[in-house]
Chains A and B, each alone.
Chain A
């Protein structure tokens, strides 16, 4: 017996793995090589100490700790084997190769496999990649629709055209729900749309098409909310709640329900974000000559820059409406004064310094101009 075989017997003897014949051979070997006998002594002692290592226990019940997690997990069905359960893990035999090399091969294999899969996908569906943008858009639209029901109709319209994907169907569903909520006046406020009110220059004057991007829809929804706020400022919306006003505005724009007063479409005329970011310039955002949906007589004669004039302290806003003047509280709680509609147009609108007077010029259909003044003191219109 050579030294290598002898050392193996020593090791196996420690584990109690020798039969009688092997035990005899080992004893003969150890007599022949006393240094191996000493080594066996050391290993035996080490093995005993390893056997006596403390059987540590966790500080608390691990099962109790994971019970909440387990409540949410359903055990997988049976089909696999024990092999399958453990084969997910990284341990593999290393009889012939080092772990590092094996791991490296596996990683390389994973990269190659991923590349092949990607190539197959691209070849098989060359036009599928842009869809990711659509999906992204759809996702954003969903977010907007959920957060801003007032714009739901617009998104629904956008989705109704050309896309027939699952994503689209999902978006439609969400839009429908949101629209229904808006119709019931139960929709929530649209903080996102309000926050982006400064971007209402986009999408001017048109309903969103099926090709609109999510960002365009987002822009379109902003003026809806903003405009609705102005609408209520005009004192026409029956509810004092801004949230309810938003919902009503949304439903009006989509379903042509005719509230008295503004029921604006989701359009914007002022391309200057600064103008609309300024609270004092907060007014109806409409295109010149736009006929308000549901209010056929309400043709506005001027764009935003000409159609609303905030008072010096910002508490009141003057609006040029259908040839007449309307003064509303900027916070939307009520209409202070309304001259009524008349043929012609309003121009040269200026507030007195104390905000107690409003000066303006009415030009009738024949071109005759009349200088007028509104006085807060008695809430009347005077000829200057």
Chain B
């Protein structure tokens, strides 16, 4: 959670505060970019672009919005722009995952679908469904926060999320049937 004082200091022209702010949001920005673009290098590029945009636009942020939804709006817009320009998405074989709390996460993921299967299935979703899923599960956003980030009506967010889950369910079921996972 980014401290409001830090944001104010950054807006007041404190460059150090602004850089600290960027460091605070760096991982969450990258995470969204990574799951939306499904490609490590593209995610690095998009995340950097998003951080630069946050840096340049920090003074346009207003407190009436949550800072994290404002940030996610920036990064999702950049990613959407990127994957509209670059279809289809790239093979997942190209990247290595870098885990935080590596061992625990891996153990948990191995208990169900392979995380790679899930990531690949997410990558096959339509862009707006994918974005909603990523914000819901990788940023732990509520319906309202997703709606704020994407500037979508609340019911649209729900609709996208519900359909996305159903699609994922179908895709992962097919993976299992096809022997992708045991």
On A, residues with C-beta under 8 Å from B are: 7-8, 11-12, 14-15, 17, 42-43, 45-59, 61-63, 65-67, 69-70, 73-82, 84-86, 88-95, 99, 103
Question: Contact: B26 with A54, CB < 8 Å?
Answer: no
Q: Which residue of B lies closest to A69 (CB)?
A: B52
**List of B residues within 8 angstroms of A90 by Cβ:** 77, 80-81, 84
Interface residues in B22-54 by Cβ distance below 8 A to A read 22-23, 26-27, 29-31, 34-35, 40, 43-44, 47-48, 51-53
**List of A residues within 8 angstroms of B172 by Cβ:** 46
Q: Which residue of B lies closest to A78 (CB)?
A: B59
A66-B34 contact in complex given A47-B165, A55-B105, A91-B151, C-beta closer than 8 Å: no
Question: Contact: B143 with A66, CB < 8 Å?
Answer: no
Question: Contact: B19 with A63, CB < 8 Å?
Answer: yes
Q: 21 A-B pairs, CB-CB below 8 angstroms?
A: A15-B143, A43-B169, A49-B113, A50-B137, A54-B100, A57-B31, A57-B100, A58-B43, A63-B22, A66-B48, A66-B52, A75-B59, A76-B56, A77-B59, A80-B57, A82-B70, A92-B151, A93-B150, A93-B156, A95-B152, A103-B84
**List of A residues within 8 angstroms of B11 by Cβ:** 78
Q: How far is the CB of B49 from chain A (nearest CB, A)?
A: 9
How many interface residues does B have (CB within 8 Å)?
Answer: 75
Q: How far is the CB of A77 from chain B (nearest CB, A)?
A: 6
- Choose among B26, B65, B78, B106 the residue that contacts A62 (Cβ–Cβ < 8 A): B26
Q: Which residue of A lies closest to B59 (CB)?
A: A78
Measured in the bound complex, the distance between the Cα atoms of B30 and A59 in whole Å is: 10
| Across the A-B interface, the 7 shortest Cβ-Cβ residue pairs | A89-B77, A78-B59, A85-B57, A80-B60, A50-B137, A85-B60, A11-B162
Measured in the bound complex, the distance between the Cα atoms of B159 and A11 in whole Å is: 10
Measured in the bound complex, the distance between the Cα atoms of B168 and A167 in whole Å is: 61
Q: How far is the CB of B164 from chain A (nearest CB, A)?
A: 10
**List of B residues within 8 angstroms of A56 by Cβ:** 30-31, 34-35, 97-100
A63-B56 contact in complex given A56-B31, A75-B18, A89-B78, C-beta closer than 8 Å: no
**List of B residues within 8 angstroms of A95 by Cβ:** 152-153, 156
Is B119 positioned at the interface, with any CB of A under 8 Å from its CB?
Answer: yes
**List of B residues within 8 angstroms of A67 by Cβ:** 19
Question: Contact: B143 with A17, CB < 8 Å?
Answer: yes
**List of B residues within 8 angstroms of A42 by Cβ:** 169
**List of A residues within 8 angstroms of B105 by Cβ:** 52, 54-55
- Choose among A63, A66, A85 the residue that contacts B61 (Cβ–Cβ < 8 A): A85
Question: Contact: A43 with B165, CB < 8 Å?
Answer: yes
Q: How far is the CB of B85 from chain A (nearest CB, A)?
A: 10
Question: Contact: B51 with A85, CB < 8 Å?
Answer: no
Measured in the bound complex, the distance between the Cα atoms of B74 and A88 in whole Å is: 9
Interface residues in B90-104 by Cβ distance below 8 A to A read 97-101
Query: Knowing that A57-B98, A77-B59 are A-B contacts, what are 17 other residue pairs whose CB atoms are under 8 Å apart, sorted by A's residue number?
Result: A11-B165, A49-B112, A50-B168, A52-B108, A53-B138, A57-B31, A59-B40, A59-B98, A70-B55, A73-B55, A73-B56, A75-B13, A75-B55, A79-B60, A82-B64, A85-B60, A89-B74
Q: Which residue of A lies closest to B109 (CB)?
A: A52
Question: Contact: A14 with B165, CB < 8 Å?
Answer: yes
**List of A residues within 8 angstroms of B118 by Cβ:** 49-50, 53
Q: Which residue of A lies closest to B106 (CB)?
A: A54
Measured in the bound complex, the distance between the Cα atoms of B79 and A90 in whole Å is: 10
Question: Contact: B70 with A86, CB < 8 Å?
Answer: yes
Measured in the bound complex, the distance between the Cα atoms of B162 and A69 in whole Å is: 41
Question: Contact: A78 with B60, CB < 8 Å?
Answer: yes
Question: Contact: B165 with A58, CB < 8 Å?
Answer: no
Measured in the bound complex, the distance between the Cα atoms of B55 and A7 in whole Å is: 43
Interface residues in B112-144 by Cβ distance below 8 A to A read 112-113, 115, 118-119, 127-128, 131, 133, 136-138, 143
Question: Contact: A82 with B62, CB < 8 Å?
Answer: yes
- Choose among A48, A58, A75, A78 the residue that contacts B44 (Cβ–Cβ < 8 A): A58
Measured in the bound complex, the distance between the Cα atoms of B109 and A55 in whole Å is: 12
A61-B70 contact in complex given A11-B161, A76-B59, A85-B60, C-beta closer than 8 Å: no
- Choose among B26, B34, B131, B169 the residue that contacts A61 (Cβ–Cβ < 8 A): B26
Question: Contact: A89 with B109, CB < 8 Å?
Answer: no
**List of B residues within 8 angstroms of A48 by Cβ:** 112
**List of A residues within 8 angstroms of B100 by Cβ:** 54-57
Measured in the bound complex, the distance between the Cα atoms of B51 and A75 in whole Å is: 12
Measured in the bound complex, the distance between the Cα atoms of B127 and A59 in whole Å is: 25
**List of B residues within 8 angstroms of A50 by Cβ:** 118, 133, 136-137, 168
**List of B residues within 8 angstroms of A79 by Cβ:** 60
Q: How far is the CB of A43 from chain B (nearest CB, A)?
A: 6
Q: How far is the CB of A69 from chain B (nearest CB, A)?
A: 6
Q: How far is the CB of A10 from chain B (nearest CB, A)?
A: 9
Measured in the bound complex, the distance between the Cα atoms of B167 and A46 in whole Å is: 11
Question: Contact: B47 with A58, CB < 8 Å?
Answer: yes
Q: How far is the CB of B7 from chain A (nearest CB, A)?
A: 12
Measured in the bound complex, the distance between the Cα atoms of B118 and A49 in whole Å is: 8
